[in-house]
Amino acid sequence: MATEKPYVIGLDLGGTNSVFGIVDANAKVVEIGKIKTGAYETFEEWLDASIACLKPMIERVGGIEKIKAMGAGAPNGNFYNGTIEFAPNLKWAKGVVPFAKAFEEKLGIPCFLSNDANCAALGEMKYGAARGMKNFIVITLGTGVGSGIVVNGEMVYGCDGFAGELGHVIAERDGRPCGCGFKGCLETYCSATGVARTAREILANTDEPSLLREKDPAQIESLDVSIAAGKGDKVAKEIFEFTGNMLGRTMADFTKFSSPEAYIFFGGLTKAGDLIMDPIKKAYEENCMPIFKGKAKIMVSELPDADAAVLGASALAW
């Protein structure tokens, strides 16, 4: 029997683009559309443009009656009150924006909001590598390090909606300064920018020949490290081993908290494949307490790259 409302709307709200998708229960994105996030001065202007983008998409699937709800993933999106709060990358969200309420009023369907990493976790649970799992952790390795934690089949939002900030767990006491004001956060080592920082440190501290020396150190990006490591570059491999060790040993502490069935990685750095995943797995197992050894699967997201963020956001709506 066909369900009456077969679709949800997913919105991946980033600093550059706002991407809307209409998605069915089989993870098929049947309609897609986007607007420029930064082309609007106020939330109201951005909202009007969003509705203008969505209207024809909604008509093409048979009208709003076919749509169950909307889910959105946004920086500093708070699940509990549906607001975006003090998002540094969104010029129209420097204060508190009543995001979910505004869409509910315009569209007449429920709207749910969360941050990007939580949406990624929901996406994996609904459509991806975590289908059927009740306890797992998604770690996003991008410009920063984000996390979405699922316990007993439910998202962990905590008392205030801000739980799951594993990128700021202290990986090295008194280590690298972090944007959050503390030192040694996981994200200062294991984000794309952290990897580039490690590259500059290792290049400056050794004379080891490396393909990475062909570039101005200030311009090195994590992708350069991946390419060099793929060509067998020794320094590049050392950079990934250092990164994997920092991440793996810190994950061994996360396991003492929620003993997840799996860790699922998502984001640009995972493109390095085994070059980064093998050192993570090795360090994780070495640092696991005996009762946890060999239990948690360490995997890469199974969601299709282009649609992953929209799918994640749409999972919030089911």
Nearer to a copy of itself, 125 or 296 (CB): 296
Candidate residues 65, 154, 208, 274; the one interacting with a copy of itself per rule CB under 8 A: 154
We find the least distance from the C-beta atom of residue 125 to a copy of itself, in angstroms, to be 14
Per-residue burial over 248-273, b = 16 or more CB atoms within 10 Å of its CB, e = otherwise: bbbbbebbeeeebbbbbbbbbbbebe
Site string for a copy of itself, 221-260 (x = CB under 8 A): ----------------------------x---xx-xxxxx
Cβ neighbours, 10 Å, residue 106: 15
Candidate residues 13, 70, 90, 166; the one interacting with a copy of itself per rule CB under 8 A: 166
Nearer to a copy of itself, 35 or 163 (CB): 163
Does 28 sit near a copy of itself (CB under 8 A)? no
Alpha helices, H only, the chain: 43-60, 99-107, 116-127, 187-190, 192-205, 222-230, 234-258, 274-287, 308-315
d(CA 270, CA 300): 7
Nearer to a copy of itself, 181 or 232 (CB): 181
Alpha helices, H only, 182-233: 187-190, 192-205, 222-230
Q: Which stretch binds a copy of itself (CB under 8 A): 5-13, 49-57, 175-183, 194-202?
A: 175-183
Does 122 sit near a copy of itself (CB under 8 A)? no
**Are the CB atoms for 224 and 272 separated by under 8 Å?**
no
Does 292 sit near a copy of itself (CB under 8 A)? yes
Q: Which stretch binds a copy of itself (CB under 8 A): 26-34, 47-55, 179-187, 193-201?
A: 179-187
13 CB-side CA count, 13 A:
29
